A and B are shown apart, each in its own frame.
Chain A
C-alpha cells in the first residue's frame, strides 16, 4: 500500500467508519424529517458523498458525517415542508418500530416520541437541528455551532427557544378529574407502601415538597426523582398513615385531602395535594405549616 492510499483510506475503511456511524446518522435524519424513507435516502446520500470525498482531509470522520447529515437534513426539511403543504389531511410522522431498531429506541430515546416529532415540526429547521443534536445525542454546544455554521451563544439560544416551545406545548396539566384520580391512587399506594404502584404514578422528575416552616419531622429539602420519592413514601408508610383520617376538600379548585390524627379527633395535621401532567404526578405537596392550613379547617 502506498502512502497516498493510506492517507485517503481504502473503500473498506471508509465503509467501516460509515457503518459505525450509520445508526446515529439515521437517528439524526429521522428526528429531523419524521420519515423513515426520507431518512434512509438521506443517509444513503451521505454515504455517496463520503465515498467521493477526499477523506485524507477529514480529521474526525464521525463529526464530519454528522455535520453532513444535519446540513442535508435541514435542506431536505425545507423542501419536505413545502410538499407537506399540499398533503391531503393531517400529516403524521412515519412511525418507527423501536423494538426492531434497538439503537433508536433504547440508547437515546429523546425527541423520538410521536408527540415530540410532531411538535418539532413547528420549530425552524435550525432550531430543530440544534434541539435534536443536544437532547437526543448530547453534542456539546461548540460542536453544534460548527455543524450549523453558527456561534455557541446563538446555538444556546436556539436550544433554549426550542425547549421552551416543546415544554410549553407538551406540559398540559391533567384535568381536575384526572388529578383527583391520581391523588386517590397516590394515597392508596402510599398507605400500603406499594413501591411499584408509587413508581408508576410519577413522572421522572417528580418532586415531593413539604411546607413545614421548620417543624420537627418535616423534611426541609425537596425529595426529587422517582426512586427517592417512591422509596421515601414506601419507607414511612408504616407510621405516617396510622390513625390518620383522610377527608377530601377542594383547595384552589384542585382536589386535596385534609389529614387529621386519631380518626379526625385532633386538629388538622396536614393538607396533601398533587400536581399532575399528562405523564403523571410531578409534584407531591405537603402543607404542615399550621398557619397556612388553618383556613382549610373550615372546609373539612
Chain B
C-alpha cells in the first residue's frame, strides 16, 4: 500500500540522517524490533520494545557512513530497507506499519540469509 511506502521512505530518511528524535517520532509508541543475527553477528537476542529503545537500536544498526548505503526496497512484497557496505548486504529489514507509524521491524543480520541481497 502506498501509505506503507510513504512511512518506510520517511523512516529511511531519518535513518540516513541518524536523527534519533525523528526516528522516535516515526515509530509507534509500542514499536518492536526483532533481530536475527543467527548467533553469528552481534544482535539483540530479545525483541526490543518501545519507540525510545527501538530508535536507539536503529540509530546504531542502520547507521549510514560514507561507505554504507541505505535503500528502500521490495522485501517480501512490501517496502523494506536494505543496508549495504561496498555492495554487500549487511542488513535487510522488513517493516510493518500501523496508523502511519512503524510498528514492527524485522531486522535480518544473519549473513547466511543475505546472500541474495549483495549488489555488484
| Residues in chain A within 8 A of chain B (CB atoms) | 35-37, 87-100, 104-105, 109, 112-115, 117-118, 172, 174-175, 177-179, 181-182, 185, 199-201, 276-280
With contacts defined as CB atoms under 8 Å apart, how many contacts are there between chain A and chain B in the complex? Answer: 124
Q: Are B73 and A172 interface neighbours, CB within 8 A?
A: no
Q: Are B36 and A112 interface neighbours, CB within 8 A?
A: no
In the bound complex, CA of A106 to CA of B43 (Å) = 32
Chain A CB within 8 A of B94 CB = yes
Which residues of chain B have C-beta atoms less than 8 A from A113's C-beta? Answer: 76-78, 94
In the bound complex, CA of A104 to CA of B78 (Å) = 12
| Residues in chain B within 8 A of chain A (CB atoms) | 1-3, 6, 28-30, 34-39, 43-47, 73-78, 80, 92, 94, 96-101, 103-104, 106-108, 110, 112-113, 115-117
Q: Are B3 and A87 interface neighbours, CB within 8 A?
A: no
Which residues of chain B have C-beta atoms less than 8 A from A36's C-beta? Answer: 113, 116
Q: Chain B: which residue is nearest A96 at the CB level?
A: B76
Q: List 24 A-B contacts (CB under 8 A).
A: A35-B113, A87-B39, A89-B36, A89-B43, A90-B35, A90-B45, A92-B113, A93-B76, A94-B112, A94-B113, A95-B76, A95-B92, A95-B94, A95-B108, A96-B75, A113-B77, A113-B94, A172-B98, A174-B98, A175-B29, A177-B99, A178-B100, A182-B99, A278-B98
What 4 A-B pairs come out closest when comparing CB atoms? A178-B99, A88-B39, A114-B94, A92-B36
Q: Chain B: which residue is nearest A185 at the CB level?
A: B100
Q: Are A278 and B39 interface neighbours, CB within 8 A?
A: no
In the bound complex, CA of A35 to CA of B114 (Å) = 11
Which residues of chain A have C-beta atoms less than 8 A from B94's C-beta? Answer: 92, 95, 113-115
Q: Can you name 13 extra interface pairs (CB under 8 A) apart from A88-B45, A114-B80?
A: A37-B115, A89-B45, A90-B36, A92-B108, A97-B75, A98-B74, A112-B76, A113-B78, A114-B76, A114-B78, A114-B94, A201-B3, A279-B98
